[in-house]
Amino acid sequence: MFDKILIANRGEIACRVIKTCRKLGIRTVAVYSDADDGALHMRMADEAVHIGPPAAAESYLVIEKIVAACKQTGAQAVHPGYGFLSENRKFAAALKEAGIAFIGPNVDAIYAMGDKIESKKLANKAGVSTVPGFLGAISGTEEAVKIATEIGFPVMIKASAGGGGKGMRIARSADEVAQGFSSATNEAKNSFGDDRVFIEKYIEQPRHIEIQVLGDKHGNVIFLHERECSIQRRHQKVIEEAPSPFLDAKTRKAMGEQAVALAKTVNYDSAGTVEFIVGPDRSFYFLEMNTRLQVEHPVTELITGIDLVEQMIRVAAGEALDIRQEDVKLDGWAVEARIYAEDPVRGFLPSTGRLVRWRTAPESDDIRNDTGVVEGSEISMFYDPMISKLCAYGKDRDEAVSRLSAALDETWIAGIGHNVNFLSAVLDHPRFRSGNISTNFIAEEWPNGFAGTVLPDGRRDAMLAVAALVHVRNEFRARHLGGKLGLPEWQPDADWIAFLGKAEFPLTLSDAEGGCDVKVGQKGKSGGKALKVRSAWKPGEPFFRGTVNGQPVVARVAPRPDGLRIVHGGAELDIAVRTPRAAELARLMPEKLPPDMSKYLLCPMPGLVVSIGVAEGEPVKTGQALAVVEAMKMENVLRAERDGTVKKVNAKKGDSLAVDQVILEFA
């Protein structure tokens, strides 16, 4: 066994690998760029080696620097994590050359599976079912249209060297093939330096289900069941679970056996993932094999009890697998939500800045939090904007999903845009709960983007009752601060009116042991819902933890100039609890309208202007491309939302813009 391992990665995955090394008594070496000086992974490791400037191309991706860091520290093996050099065969070969073990599969397996066209050919040979399509690089638009017509629409155009959801287009007509072919080719050339593109059938209502495999250097390969990763945006995963609510035992076994057969054809000797796309009739087709540890591996660990990183290290050291196929458990359910610094309101664009607040549910037997940042860390533009992978375990799907949803209620992130409310909205969505999902789930349920969620009436009423208790405690505190405020005598039992935005809810409160009893009514109607709120919450605490009618409730509470904000279940509720007299006055307050910005094209994220597509005085049509802005290595095309005429152009190519900076003004 090794006694020192270098982790050629950063962030949460570096931290996660270090945890297993510690458990095994192996010393660790971190590498870090200038941007990661002082980062969590660097502090967790026993030693750390500086490898250069922030840009990955000059640090984490430079093979020579990693090899040199191994030599300098005497590390005998390297775990590459995911991304970066994890699927780079030159890296694996360079390590081999230097006599350092690569904690991943053999070089030939990486090579064979690194290319989507070649790996599909191999899969075909191994008897694995593949998506119908044309297995070759396509030379031009004409050929693309011809092949697409033969396959039958819709089709998927894909970069053979692709990854991370890049270089992929769906086409439903010959026109779309022509368009998609050129944009996929360009994206492939820019992202991967390889413009080979192929075409396959687009599977409608697809579900993404993948099989975790594990092999050793002695010819043993087993599968550790599946993960379903159908909740995606931009062909990238956000919520994953194991097992899949869609598979029956027979399909699971068939997919597992095909995955093992494929792994065996390349003498696979590490942890790897065989990805399948599954149709509504449970027909399944091979997509690609990822020859590394997958981002979402924790859900598999939670249901099988197997530490995948430990297994990778053991097999890299030459040990034979000591788990037999029949010993692999499938126990309970696990769900993972990827918490990203990104803005779901603005098309999931990455956001950057300082994590001023970062709190979440404490880790336990049922909650796992894989993170690489702490409060105060910077989410920079240089790397993947992931903050954490929050996972919950339960005896069944309902329990796991409910636990994860509750853990998100306990999550507080401030300082940067994030997707926590969006994740809550997905987990609490009735369609998600029913398990009736596909990779189109997000696009279908939020066709115009996510602009916040509305709680069902029951949960909303519970939050109004929570607001009432919070208000009572705040008022009580205000009256006991030295008695200088001259407020009228405190009346705990009283009638109040809660304003939720403009909607009004009459509340009748009565003091009770450990909280209060609240009747939440509706304006103009008699009666109401009786809710018992109990909590030890004290003014100033950021989280309300307690019960409503005996049910545990966690909500984040923040003061506002006129009332409070409660964040719960993905919703942000601005609530003001008022006396009947204050309510009368509040109704008379003039409403403040936000300024009309429809005559401006604003920059949706901090970024660099790649091009401006229009000139002053030019008429534009709805949907026309107005400007291209690059942020986090992604080009974002900004389009006209309605017909109009450009009055003024405020930015030019090469400008670096802040969020909401005005790019164009319309007449």
Catalytic residue IDs: 288
For residue 645, the tally of other CB atoms under 10 A from its CB is 12
Q: Is there a contact between 105 and 268 (Cβ–Cβ < 8 Å)?
A: yes
Q: Of 351, 474, 335, which Cα lies nearest the Cα of 413?
A: 351
128: tokens are 């694995």
Q: Residue 454 CB, nearest distance to ligand ADP (Å)? A: 28
Instruction: Pick one of Mg ion, ligand ADP, none as the site partner of residue 389 (Cβ within 5 to 8 A by kind).
Output: none
User: Six-digit token pair at 99?
Assistant: 């006599």
Q: Which pair of structure tokens corresponds to residue 428?
A: 């609490």
d(CA 324, CA 309): 17
Task: Please give the structure tokens belonging to residue 528.
Answer: 């109401």
Give the range of 220-228, 231-239, 536-544, 569-577 binding ligand ADP by CB under 6 A: 231-239
Residue 275 or 409 with smaller CB distance to Mg ion: 275
The reply on whether position 258 binds ligand ADP by CB under 6 A is no
Site for ligand ADP in 411-430 (CB under 6 A): none
237 close to 231: Cβ distance less than 8 angstroms: yes
Considering the complex, state which of residue 216 and residue 275 has its C-beta at the smaller distance from Mg ion: 275
The per-residue DSSP string of 471-505 comes to HHHHHHHHHTSTT-S-PPPP-SSEEEEEEETTEEE
Residues 550-569 that bind ligand ADP (CB under 6 A): none
Q: Is 348 or 358 the residue whose CB approaches Mg ion more closely?
A: 348
Name which of residues 272 to 331 contact Mg ion (CB under 5 A). Answer: 275
Q: CA–CA separation, 337 vs 264, rounded Å? A: 32
In terms of CB distance, is 297 or 397 closer to Mg ion?
297
Q: Work out whether 156 is an interface residue with ligand ADP (CB under 6 A).
A: yes
Three-class SS state of 555: strand
CA 351 to chain centroid: 13
Rounded distance between C-alpha atoms, residue 212 and residue 224, angstroms? 5
Closest CB 165 distance from Mg ion, rounded Å: 8
Which of 293, 275, 222, 282 lies closest to 116, judged by CA? 275
Question: Phi, psi (5° rounding) for residue 377?
Answer: -70, 160
For residue 13, the partner it binds in Mg ion, ligand ADP, none, with Cβ less than 5 to 8 A by kind, is none
Q: CB-based contacts of 76: which residues, under 8 Å, 6+ apart?
A: 2, 3, 4, 5, 100, 101
Place of tokens 């990203």: 340
Binding status of residue 164 toward ligand ADP by CB under 6 A: yes
Residue 309 Cβ vs ligand ADP, minimum distance, rounded to whole Å: 14
**Structural contact between residues 310 and 24, judged by C-beta atoms closer than 8 angstroms:** yes
Report in angstroms how near the CB of residue 28 gets to ligand ADP at its nearest: 21
Would you say 292 or 534 has its CB closer to Mg ion?
A: 292
| Site membership for ligand ADP, residue 252 (CB under 6 A) | no
Among 232, 251, 311, 636, binds ligand ADP (CB under 6 A): 232
Name 564's bridge partners: 559, 575
The Cα 421–Cα 339 span in angstroms is 10
Is 208 one of the binding residues for ligand ADP (CB under 6 A)? yes
Under rule CB under 6 A, residue 294 binds ligand ADP? yes
Q: Which does 270 bind (CB under 5 to 8 A by kind): ligand ADP, Mg ion, none?
A: none
Which of ligand ADP, Mg ion, none is residue 517 near (CB under 5 to 8 Å by kind)? none
Min separation Cβ 143 and ligand ADP, Å: 19
| Shortest Cβ 84–ligand ADP spacing (Å) | 7
* Start-end of H helices in 353-440: 397-409, 420-427, 430-434
Quick one: 36 or 409, whose CB is closer to ligand ADP? Answer: 36
Please say which residue, 235 or 545, places its beta carbon nearer to ligand ADP: 235
Structure tokens at 139: 């030379």
Please report how close the Cβ of residue 122 comes to ligand ADP at its closest, in angstroms. Answer: 15
For 215, phi then psi, to 5°, come to -130, 165
Q: Is 151 in the site for ligand ADP (CB under 6 A)?
A: no
CB of 53 to ligand ADP, least distance (A): 18
Q: Which stretch binds ligand ADP (CB under 6 A): 70-78, 284-292, 477-485, 614-622?
A: 284-292
Interface residues with Mg ion (CB under 5 A) are: 275
Interface residues with ligand ADP (CB under 6 A) are: 82-83, 131, 156, 162-166, 168, 191, 200-203, 206, 208, 232, 235-237, 275, 277, 287-288, 290, 294-295, 384, 439
